[in-house]
Structure 1
């Protein structure tokens, strides 16, 4: 793709509450003009930066690019101006497009009618068929606010937490994007061991190993931008090959009392290419042993009643046992714990500071609780 029209405004969508962490990640990665906003982060760049954001950013849910717009005060005007828009600069006539519209404080107030007009203009001027349901290769979003129509393209396709490696999952799995940002919030940068004593499908362990190895989160999957006009497959392949893999000096540990969860974690780690650096074992929290070597970070997303349909009262003993084991055997290790229940977090007896922002995890509001090196 030609970057002569750059820079675009790029919107990096994030789960509400994770915007500051994603902004820090984007700045650290060298993206220009990074600013936090509600539901995400904006930055600027050409197509190469759009590709790079999809490939490398661990905390973004989607990458949207704003491609232009115009004012329209009624549907006939929307139709007329949509037919003049340079769709061919962005879209291919052979790729189905799904059009979505939202209207706010505008004379055009019927979002469905607006989407239909835009889709018809696309079909009749460019030839791109309107997509429905799962067939959509490209999603075009029209935001009509204060009579200003702004067009954005979803360049990601499937949500970015779907890295392409975690086929096997347990109940209520943690999204990879959340896991990565929680690791970042705990100060993890890839140079220390990470242990998850209730690993489920292995998300924390695998994300930590990938970060340490320099493996890009989008390396194994396809993106919607590959179906846009002017996509350069050779340049994309070169970009993906520009990130060398490192062999981590440390190891990453997961355990769970559920043998099925341990098996899933091993399989997911192998698919992600980090299996040789990860060790998974099946045992209860009370049997948890401190790994040999320097201290690191314990990251854990224990069960909480609303997430697994369990009895909250029965979980206090589990959290207390976890806290006791960590205090007794993990001196020098830091702890990050994700839960929706402040009472359960406090039941660990660990020296947590104030919890982080609330994050929506499958309809449940969770927070990250952090403790510095244990004594």
Structure 2
């Protein structure tokens, strides 16, 4: 087989890239390790920046998010029994959209079906060949048979544990990493959200987040120890602890119910540099991970897709080799800004084991400064709704 671009990974970033390439007449084949049903069963965050929504529309997959998504023009920050709102619309003229990542993926698969794009599922033992040459290829096993696709470029959208990043020679890549000494215990419940907008809570018992997927489906999180396990938390214990971390008014309004999903997510910051080697390019979690504080994971992957799509379209339309060569530089400039915001927001809202009395006072002072200072609120709002894509 032959195609112009092989995309490894059939999640939202790989599918988004494939559909954007299609709009320019660039052929691609998407390779996915799991079944389509498995991909669509993944539960992920769902706060979308305007830039991602614009890309979905450009890719022909934006109708449902505009119809069913929930626009949020602000978010709440609480500390103890105090709370204040960051007004995105006032400070930036923009909003974010609450719309589940599963639904984003569903919309992109539907768009790929409409365009007849090729997606290969249940592929195993993926091998990248000749990425540093002018004739790269990808081979894989499917139903016991090894298949090979010759191509011009390879896009690694296969996540942190995929083959793409480790296909770059070890001497050619450098990792930057921070592991946080806690995790997020999260539950999904068929209950109405406690608030119309997200609440990020800093309490003396640790962080909490009140989020949602739909008006009748809520997502809640509490900070927990890094080695904790969901078996240690009954639903009643989770709800009781969440209430202790919210302002009294919000805790009193919380509607509880059985959890339909419960998990613990570790928190880490990770960046691989560079994000390309020859004709192999990394996108999303294959290259970088952010803590979930501030919901930058999927949005940062989307910015990678923007830069890679721009580079590849210039290559095919104008034979612009410089655009391809500069992909990593352009993508990393925005990645590090998202890493900074997620690191700052995580540091602001969580309790760390090493915190001294002085550290806690400084954290409180910074939250109160954010509450009282319009410039600080504007800076947070600009980062939360998404920094612009700079080409």
**TM-score higher than 0.5:** no
Q: Determine which structure has the larger strand proportion and give its number.
A: 2
TM-score (norm 1): 0.23
Instruction: Give the alignment's TM-score, normalised by structure 2.
Output: 0.22
Work out which structure has the larger RCO, using CA pairs closer than 8 Å and 6 or more positions apart in sequence: 2
Choose between structure 1 and 2: higher helix proportion.
Answer: 2
Q: Which has more radius of gyration?
A: 1
